[in-house]
Amino acid sequence: MSRQSYPLLSLEVIASGAIAEARFVTPAGAQAGAAVNTLGVARVAAADKDAIPVDVIGTGIVEAGAAIAAGSLVETDASGRAVTRAAGPIVARLAPGQVATAAGQFIEVILITN
């Protein structure tokens, strides 16, 4: 999939621990765990205490943790990746034309404030 996105607002966040590129980030600056509220998506990888840009409004590129159907709502898995929403907070929706057929693919999502 394309690695193009349209962030409308990115914020500088100080990482609280290591964060992988294209993973969801919590308001506390940590890489998200399973089914948690998020601030947005990390544009780059970070080590503890690094300042990184996090896309919070608009679209962002995130790594899929499993196959995700077109148009699906997503939540986070234990590694901060996007997975089809089951019961956790809705953090995003796949952007038009996006689909993940397996874990490890990068997809564009429409970020949802939660």
Per-domain residue ranges for the chain? 1-114
Q: 3 versus 29: which is more confidently predicted?
A: 29
Phi, psi of 58 (to 5 degrees): 105, -140
> Three-class SS of residue 93?
strand
Helix, strand, coil % in the chain, rounded to nearest 5: 0, 40, 60
Cα distance between the two ends of the chain: 26
Q: Is the pLDDT of residue 1 over 80?
A: no
- pLDDT recorded at residue 114: 85
Look up tokens 């290591």; give the residue. Answer: 18
Look up tokens 């601030």; give the residue. Answer: 39
Q: Is the pLDDT of residue 82 over 70?
A: yes
The yes or no reply on domain 1-114 and CATH 2.40.300 is: yes
The model's pLDDT over 23-64, given as tens digits with 9 standing for 90+, comes to 999 999 999 999 999 999 999 999 999 999 999 999 999 999
